[in-house]
C-alpha cells in the first residue's frame, strides 16, 4: 500500500511538498555490504531481487542468480563471510533461486537504508556495487536515511529521485527540467555580475517561453535555497 503522504499532488515542473513519496535509485558498494567475496570468486555472477525488505520475510531473503558455473557459485555463496546459510530453492532456465540468511552487517546496512519507513523495491548487482530502488514516504525520510548511513560510514550514492506521480529529480529535489534550465542559465552567464545574457536569449535556446523559463528558474532556485539553508542533516525543516 502506498503511504498516504505519497498520494499528495505534484505541482508544475514536478514541484511538490516535502511530504510527497519519492522513489530513489541509489548504489552501495558490495565491499562492506554483501557478496563482495562471491563476486570476486565468480566474476560473471549476477544477482537480482524484488520486494526484498520486510519485517516478516527478513532482509534480502530471496535472490535470483545467473552464472555460467552454478556449482562454483554455490560454493562461493556458502563460503562468503556475509552469509550464514544458503539454500537453493529452484531454477528457471539459467537462473537459480537462492534463500539466504545474512550476517548481521548486511541487516544493519539495509536497516539504515530503510529507516523511517523506507522500503526496498528491488536490488541487483553484477559486481562492484549494488543498485537499489527504494521508496521513501517523503524527501525528509530520504535525508534521514542518508544521514543515518553517513553516521555509520555507509556511503550510498543517489543516482536519481522521482516523486510519485511526478518527474525524476536529483538529490537536491530539482526536476530534470529545472536542473537543465539552471545549468544552461549558469553556463550562459545569466547569474554573472554583470549578466552576460538575459532570459529571452536563454528561453530561445531552450525553446520555451520567457514566462515558463522564469518560473522554472525561480522554483529551482527556491528548492536549492530550501535544501541548503532550511533543511538540517536529517532532512527536517528548520529556521535560521
Residues 6 or more apart in contact with residue 150 via CB below 8 angstroms = 233
- As a whole-number percent, the residues of the chain with pLDDT over 90 amount to 42
Let me know: does 59 contact 102? Beta carbons within 8 Å.
Answer: yes
**DSSP percent split of the chain into helix, strand, coil, nearest 5:** 35, 30, 35
Average pLDDT rounded to a whole number, residues 139-164: 87
Cis amide linkage into residue 194, ω under 30° from 0: yes
Nearest to 235 by CA among 143, 132, 126: 143
Average pLDDT rounded to a whole number, residues 79-106: 93
Q: Which of 209-213, 224-228, 231-235 has the lowest mean pLDDT?
A: 231-235
**What is the model's pLDDT at position 169?**
52
**What is the model's pLDDT at position 121?**
87
pLDDT digits (tens, 9 = 90+) for 15-49: 444 457 888 888 899 998 999 999 999 999 999 98
**C-alpha separations of 96 from 70, 102, 181 in Å:** 8, 18, 46
Q: How confident is the model at residue 102 (pLDDT cuts 50, 70, 90)?
A: very high
Amino acid at each position: 500500500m502506498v503511504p498516504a503522504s505519497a498520494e499528495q499532488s505534484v505541482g508544475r515542473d514536478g514541484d511538490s511538498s516535502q511530504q510527497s513519496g519519492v522513489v530513489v535509485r541509489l548504489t552501495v558498494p558490495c565491499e562492506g555490504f554483501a557478496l563482495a567475496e562471491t563476486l570476486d570468486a565468480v566474476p560473471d555472477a549476477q544477482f537480482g531481487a524484488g520486494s526484498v525488505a520486510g519485517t516478516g520475510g527478513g532482509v534480502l531473503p530471496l535472490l535470483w542468480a545467473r552464472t555460467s558455473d552454478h556449482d562454483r557459485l554455490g560454493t562461493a555463496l556458502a563460503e562468503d563471510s556475509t552469509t550464514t546459510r544458503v539454500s537453493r530453492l529452484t531454477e528457471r532456465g539459467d537462473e537459480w533461486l537462492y534463500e539466504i540468511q545474512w550476517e548481521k552487517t548486511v541487516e544493519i546496512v539495509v536497516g539504515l537504508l530503510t529507516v523511517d519507513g523506507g522500503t526496498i523495491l528491488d536490488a541487483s548487482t553484477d559486481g562492484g556495487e549494488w543498485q537499489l530502488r527504494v521508496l521513501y514516504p517523503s524527501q525528509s525520510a530520504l535525508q534521514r536515511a542518508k544521514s543515518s548511513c553517513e553516521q555509520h560510514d555507509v556511503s550510498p550514492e543517489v543516482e536519481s529521485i522521482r516523486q510519485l506521480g511526478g518527474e525524476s529529480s536529483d538529490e537536491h529535489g530539482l526536476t530534470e527540467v529545472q536542473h537543465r534550465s539552471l545549468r544552461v542559465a549558469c553556463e550562459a552567464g545569466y547569474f554573472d555580475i554583470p549578466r552576460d545574457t538575459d532570459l529571452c536569449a536563454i528561453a530561445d535556446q531552450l525553446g520555451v517561453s520567457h514566462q515558463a523559463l522564469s518560473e522554472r528558474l525561480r522554483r529551482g532556485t527556491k528548492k536549492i535555497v530550501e535544501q541548503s539553508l532550511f533543511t538540517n542533516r536529517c532532512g527536517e525543516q528548520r529556521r535560521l
